[in-house]
Amino acid sequence: MQNPESPKYQQQKLAAIRAAAAVFARKGFHGASTTDIASEMGIKQGSLYYYFKSKEEALAEVCLYGIREYVQRMEEIATSEQPFEARLLATVTSHLSSYREKNEALKVHNDERLYLPEIKRIKLKQLGSHYRELLEGIFEDGVRDGALREGLDCHFAAQSVIGICNAWGELIVRDNELDVFEVIQKVNDLLLNGFVPPKATA
């Protein structure tokens, strides 16, 4: 069926993934219909099956697409030779701005991937874990460098960064007025310093 790896096919397939991402983000996996997706990309419902074997596979591909570039960027950040603070800022920036750039696929990955059967989630789990591990690595480096507190729970820290970025990401998607750059700054600051003023040490 996918015999033609023709450029036209590749291009349409990408359009299909993006259309599916947009619709899943808006309506959720179960709330979205194949008709919705097809009409989002300007074709008829039946034609969708030329690009996806099933609706579920569409979800799988969207999730993969969503997290893949997200991990890629993290890979670049993690391997870059920068001080901790720069890398954290880069992480937060990458994560949050991906939401504004209408990367609906990431939102879909976060919210809907659980509706995939275990098997189709393996790859996603690997990528997700990889992402978290890279981020944990950054934190570990930070601790080693003295940029971070001794004894910091790096796993907890990484999860928290992901969590707070996703939370603000949803707000960003929902509220177009939000100044993403400002949010990035503040999130970054919160993660570094918390809300409490530095205690005057004697």
Minimum distance, C-beta of residue 2 to DNA, in the bound complex (Å):
5
Minimum distance, C-beta of residue 107 to DNA, in the bound complex (Å):
19
For the chain, how long is the longest CA-to-CA vector?
A: 74
CA distances from 142 to 70, 84, 85, 106, 164 (A): 22, 5, 8, 27, 19
Q: Does 53 bind DNA (CB under 7 A)?
A: yes
Only one residue has tokens 């969503």, namely 66
Minimum distance, C-beta of residue 110 to a copy of itself, in the bound complex (Å):
10
Window 137-166: contact mask with a copy of itself (x via CB under 8 A)? --x--x---xxxxx-xx--xx-xx-xxx-x
Q: Does 129 bind DNA (CB under 7 A)?
A: no
Q: Rounded distance, CA 154 to CA 140, Å?
A: 6
CA-closest candidate to residue 76, choices 61, 91, 60: 91
113: its two tokens: 């991937």
Q: Does 195 bind a copy of itself (CB under 8 A)?
A: yes
State the Cα angle at 134 between 95 and 20, rounded to 5°.
45
Judged by beta carbon distances under 5 to 8 A according to partner kind, the member of a copy of itself, DNA, none in contact with residue 137 is none
Q: Rounded distance, CA 39 to CA 25, Å?
A: 15
Q: Does 47 bind DNA (CB under 7 A)?
A: yes
82's CB contacts (< 8 A; 6+ apart) are 90
Q: Does 192 bind a copy of itself (CB under 8 A)?
A: yes
Minimum distance, C-beta of residue 56 to a copy of itself, in the bound complex (Å):
12
Q: Does 117 bind DNA (CB under 7 A)?
A: no
Residues of this chain that interact with DNA (CB under 7 A) are: 2-4, 6, 8-9, 12, 32-35, 43-50, 53-56
Residues of this chain that interact with a copy of itself (CB under 8 A) are: 27-31, 111, 115, 139, 142, 146-150, 152-153, 156-157, 159-160, 162-164, 166-168, 171, 183, 186-187, 189-201
